[in-house]
Chains A and B, each alone.
Chain A
């Protein structure tokens, strides 16, 4: 009996996975434990091993296909065994599943055409009520085009072949309505534009970018395919940036007292954990405690609802060679600096070794992104969805500040708080930031 290969559930909240690539072709032998395919979830790519030994009899989905968790994506069995022509469907709809990260700027959920190799269901292409010629039906059937979406120009609204062809032509290029308008206005052929949106969808700015004259390309320019983590980051960043209206507030905090605190705690923490306490941990702790006090910062937009998150899990953005990852420190508000230090360092280390598990990178309430090791003061961090706020931390630099009518030099740090203005307003965000500044300037408060 052929055994099914299932889209694995790689995280608690995972509902669909996108197949990045297969490592075996149909007909190739597979051993249990061999890597069979690579899957992208919202956060990370995972290489999935086969549970079975046998021949890969059938692959129902190819790269780029989005498959709901628990759906059959392939079969492994003996050579010659019969397997179904089409994957057994669990979901009621015939479509292979939609991604949750809808691009709301165009007002319609992103539609995934069935991956190559999956014929559209008969029902999709026509039903009994649509008037369409046999030729039109045949083409629609072959290309998985739902006839209901096509406007027919024949008698009594009958869909003719040319109508289906026109639809396919229009939709061959995936672009937002804004982008299409822009392209039309600029006289740009959408086929020449590279899309930066979901699955390569052309966004308006892509059209605008295409307007700029192309730089003369040197003969030795490197071309690297956008894939893997880079691709995920690209997608997630753009989704976040274009979904959530970001407002960034910044303030400067006097880190004199924090510096003192750190100096005194450094040897103790090192002795306890083996790691060196850094400013990051202090900022994380302070931010966590402020979050505890500011429930309005702990919100997440979920569809039509605003979820008030109870727990304070703080994510820490870690820069990697290939990109960026955000492991989460759970219950950061309840952990002491020693524990935080240990955890932060451990997570950072795991991150650099690509050993983070999906659970370690999900469930955050708030993210802290520290560029203080660079000559960066203020910046506008992008919110780590589904969170609603992120704290960008700049360098500590000696700056001239006014104090009691005098100009003094103090070690100042710039804090940049980006928040999602859909669910958080300026005042509460400002209040939070004010609190955070005060806590850093009076770190004894961390004890309360």
Chain B
């Protein structure tokens, strides 16, 4: 099977579904001839034309709102918000409109739109261009939130997101765009709400999202040398969350480490840790749950500082070891 990058996988998912379904189109800033700030849409305007690969003014509110109105009237727009930090400007349309329309209208109307946006730090883009705000979106009933960590997952999940009749926020990660993976050429769907055990193990469960999946896997290799067998669970979708897979994993291992890049305080890791503590897995916990997340600071520009304010491989290794008690 050929290897392509995460970025190419996203593009391929959009391209394939746009070829099948004329109701699907993409809107965003600089996605046309420019090819998108990160190059995701490169080549697409040439295939689909400027109507379906539509450059917009710098108007996140109107952009998101137009997607809402368009979805409400029969289309399936994909919106690219250039940096996930800008979701703040689009937030009213996503939170107060898209998420709530179906419920407020008593089941009439639906908003089948996807907002794709890259989050995360590591490029030196500093405080306003490096955030991970998925916990905000996960908090809103009516939205679905997806966070793929690999090229393979990205392609399958984006297709599922577009096919879903609900507003889906699709969080990509800037540093993952260039990562490669084996991706089938044909279109395929990975259902939303299904976690993936990226590495089975028996000693400790590490639940990780997005780029932290990769760091967790590296940490697992290091831990393996010391005889610790870590199971890395990638939820892939935050809302709806595959609680069953996570709970069963913790029942098996008795130890849990949750890691995400987003700030630890109020981050989605708290949700995962709590639901495990509330579940039947509680009686199998043999150590306190460990949570790793970013420090409560805006992302600094200096590269070393930037690196240190989010969890790294060594932090994951240390957290796992804290859960293991030597007799």
Contacts and interface: CB of A to CB of B under 8 A. Distances in A.
Interface of A: 133-138, 153-155, 158, 160-163, 166
A251 to B, nearest CB: 60
23 contacts: A133-B254, A133-B287, A134-B282, A134-B283, A134-B286, A135-B254, A135-B285, A135-B286, A136-B286, A137-B283, A138-B283, A138-B284, A153-B325, A154-B287, A155-B325, A160-B286, A160-B287, A160-B325, A160-B327, A161-B254, A162-B286, A162-B325, A166-B327
Contact of A134 (B284, B325, B327): B284
A153 B326 contact: yes
A64 to B, nearest CB: 30
A253 B326 CA distance: 70
A160 B287 CA distance: 7
A359 to B, nearest CB: 52
A410 B284 CA distance: 81
Range of interface residues on chain B?
A: 10 to 19
The residue in A135, A137, A155, A166 that gathers the most chain B C-beta atoms within 10 A of its C-beta is: A135
A161 to B, nearest CB: 5
A154 B325 contact: yes
User: Closest 6 CB pairs between A and B?
Assistant: A135-B286, A153-B327, A154-B325, A161-B286, A138-B283, A133-B286
Contacts of B325: 153-155, 158, 160, 162
Contacts of B284: 134-135, 138
A347 B326 CA distance: 64
A160 B326 CA distance: 10
Dominant secondary structure at the B interface: loop
Interface in B76-92: none
Contacts of A138: 283-284
Contacts of A158: 325
A235 B223 CA distance: 53
Contacts of A134: 282-286
A340 B287 CA distance: 73
Contacts of A154: 287, 325
B225 to A, nearest CB: 21
Interface string B264-303: 0000000000000000001111110000000000000000
A415 B26 CA distance: 113
The residue in B254, B286, B287 that gathers the most chain A C-beta atoms within 10 A of its C-beta is: B286
A162 to B, nearest CB: 6
A135 B283 contact: yes
A133 B324 CA distance: 12
Contacts of B283: 134-135, 137-138
Given A135-B284, A166-B327, 15 more contacts: A133-B286, A133-B287, A134-B282, A134-B283, A134-B284, A134-B285, A137-B283, A138-B283, A138-B284, A153-B326, A154-B287, A154-B325, A158-B325, A160-B325, A163-B327
B228 to A, nearest CB: 14
B248 to A, nearest CB: 15
Nearest to A136: B286
Contacts of A137: 283
Nearest to A155: B325
The residue in A133, A155, A158, A162 that gathers the most chain B C-beta atoms within 10 A of its C-beta is: A133
Nearest to B251: A135
B42 to A, nearest CB: 52
